[in-house]
Every structure is written in structure tokens, then in C-alpha cells.
Homo-oligomer: A and B are copies of this chain.
Amino acid sequence: MKTRDKLNPLGIWFVGARGSIATMTTVCAHLIAESIIEPVGMLTERHPYTTLPFCALNALRFGGCDIRSEPLTRTLDTFIADQILPSHLYTYAAAAVSETEAAIDFVPDLVGCIRTEELYNVSGEVLLDGLRSALAKFKASIGGNPVIVVNLASTEPIIPGEQQLASFESWEQLDTFIRQSNARLPWGFLYACAALLEDCSYINFTPNIGAEIPGLEDLALRRQLPHVGKDGKTGETLLKTALAPIFEARALRVRSWVGYNILGNSDGQSLTNPAARDAKTRSKDQQIRNILRDSPDVCTKVGIDFVSSLGDWKTAWDFVHFEGILGTKMSLQLLWQGADTILAAPLVLDLIRLVEFAWRRGETGALRHLGAFFKSPIGCTNHDFWFQMRELQEHLGIEERIGE
């Protein structure tokens, strides 16, 4: 199998293309491809992953849609203010995104409107058609080459009736429902529909509803498309799913695991909406219970608050209260200070490569071997990070530590 390179471009269509993660991903792809920066944080740039014929970074052509219309350089300015883009790289970054800004087809009117309460009443069918034609136009602009849709939008509030979508077993049933229902379909659902209907693979990096429902899995299988998600495991949850197995491995009993997150970027701002916050904490508060099977009564809590002075810097405190022999209570506390965008961008690039590679190998439907990348991995019932990493390596047929 040959590596895909710039002669065989791969389109990347970001939902939320003007947001921090999409912009940072674009910048990093260019700067790594041009050897200006090192690919820190990317698995697929490291041995033994590099033995596989992943897509070259210079093959990527970025586009997408967003509800905002400020130029991408505005996003770069927030990177400078948040001290996640060193000032001496600003010019390179601006060059990288200007190329993208020009090449992509924004659909502000369409997507912008669905945020407004009144326009929720535009039927899902109409919105879906708009998304599909925007996507089709992008695909045509890169010569009909394959496209991966990557959802990087903000967390959506859970819409009443959202569960109903999961009740349809086949795409026909879902399709009929979309045409008959008048409104209020969750956007994440529409992005996933549009992607699959336009023959694009789909990566859902958000906690929003996506291709995990049976009707869309059915569609993905028929179209022979892979998809993966959901909710990128970048920081505190990564830590939790890698740390909780220690207690299990040592047969210690965890009594409580409570975590509080504060952050100040636009992702955090969207969480000031209580319904959105609820959706997010739900995605973040299931892993511990799943992993700690020896601690069935563990009390877990997850809090998220918006603290604007932090900018992109997610800060989190986790307090783990556990018991050893004789009932002795001990504690572990974690303090995490990470820049979400910096952690997410390399994961997005890895996922793009891994999904494209799966697609070339003919893998379809939910990609179960990519659970290590997600907080709520589709089709993967084990949240233990080390189990997930082994699944990834076994699926790819590589072994990181041979001979040791």
C-alpha cells in the first residue's frame, strides 16, 4: 500500500473551521510538513507507527464551515494572547491559514442561522441539504478526491427528543423521520448525515450526537465508510482513564473520585449554558465507574466552570480518595494545567491519518480500535487507556516494545 501524498490530496472539512482546534490543526499540519516544528504529540510520526503507509501531511487540503466570520488570523491572535503560539512562528502560521482561508468554502449564512432560536424551526431537511451542497462544492474543488469531515464544533445542549433518533434501526427509517419532522434536529446529527451521504468519512471530536446511532451506522456500512468518535480525550479524562487502572491493578478500593475543571476558551464559554454543561459532564463522568470494577460504590463528580482569565489553559483538580487494607483512607490529588488546543491538534492529525488508512484498507462503520482517542468511544465498552492502546497496536499489527 502506498502513502497518500500531495499528488493524491485528501480533503479535510472542519465543522467549526474558524475555531481554535481547527485553526491549530491546520497550522501544525503545515509547519510539520515544512519541518519548521517537530511533530510532538503525534503517534503517527513515531516508530513503529511510521512503518505504516499513512497519508503525508502535505496531502491535506483544509476547508470547512463555521458560524463565525472573523478571519483566521483573529484566532491566531488569541493563540498569541494565550501564549500557545510562540511569536516567532506567527508569520508562518498566518501563511498556513491564509492558504486555507482562501481555499475553503464557508457557509456562514446556513450554519450561522441554526444557532438562532427562531431559526431552529427551519426543517432539518433544509439544513441538511445546505450542508450537503457546501460539502459537495468543497469536494469538487479538490478534484473529487476523498474528504474526511471532522466535527470540531462547540458542545451542543441536549435537545429534548434527541434519544428518539437512536431508536431507528435503519437509514430508511431515519431518512423518513428527517423528511417528516419539521425541526429541532441536533446539528451534530446533521453533520454526520451530510458527511456520510456525500461519501465522506466522519470524525466526531465533540461530545455531540453523531454517527453512533444505529441508523447512521447502517448508512456508513452501506456506503462503505468508516467513522469514529466521540469527544476527544485530550487532558484530564486521559489522565483519569490512565490512572484509574492503577487502583484496579493494585486491588485498592476507590471511595470517591471528584474532579473540577476550569477553562476560559470559547469551548468553556459554551459550557456556561447549563444544558451544554450537562452534556459535557455526562461524557466526562462515566469512565471511572467503568474502569473501577472493584470499587462499585465509588462516588464520582465532575464540575466544569468558565473562568475567562485562563484562556485556552484548562486547569483541573482531581481528588481521589481510596482505601487500603484495614480500611485506611489515603488520597491522590492531581493538578493539571494543559492547553486544550495544543493537546487536541496532534490528535486530530493522528485521527485523520488513522481514519484515512482504515478507509484505504476497506474498514467500514465505527472504528473500534481508536477508543484511546475518545472520552465516549463508539463501540468500545472499556475505558481503560492501556487496554485501548493495546487494541490500537494489535489492530495495526505493531508492537511498541518488542524485545524488552
Contacts and interface: CB of A to CB of B under 8 A. Distances in A.
Given A250-B41, A307-B321, A382-B404, A84 B242 contact: no
A262 B258 contact: yes
B324 A252 contact: no
A346 B324 contact: yes
A329 interface: yes
A294 B37 CA distance: 16
A119 interface: no
A271 to B, nearest CB: 13
B41 A252 contact: yes
B40 A323 contact: yes
A30 B373 CA distance: 45
B253 A40 contact: yes
A28 B325 contact: yes
A44 to B, nearest CB: 9
Contacts of A40: 251-253, 323-325, 327
A299 to B, nearest CB: 6
Contact of A345 (B325, B327, B333): B325
A69 interface: no
A385 interface: yes
Interface stretch (A104-112, A125-133, A309-317): A309-317
B330 A337 contact: yes
B326 A28 contact: yes
A331 B337 contact: yes
Contact of A251 (B46, B305, B334, B339): B46
Interface stretch (A85-93, A144-152, A223-231): A85-93
A122 interface: no
A330 to B, nearest CB: 4
A333 B334 contact: yes
Given A260-B317, A309-B256, A85 B346 contact: no
B332 A239 contact: yes
A330 B340 CA distance: 10
9 contacts: A40-B324, A307-B321, A315-B319, A324-B338, A324-B343, A324-B346, A330-B337, A332-B337, A384-B401
A329 B317 contact: no
A335 B338 contact: no
Given A40-B325, A249-B389, A330 B342 contact: yes
Nearest to A382: B404
B238 A250 contact: yes
Q: Most chain-B Cβ atoms within 10 A of its Cβ — which of A28, A334, A381?
A: A334
Contact of A43 (B41, B84, B251): B251
Interface in A181-214: none
Contact of A332 (B80, B255, B327, B335): B335
Given A299-B307, A299-B309, A382-B401, A327 B251 contact: no
A310 to B, nearest CB: 7
Nearest to A321: B309
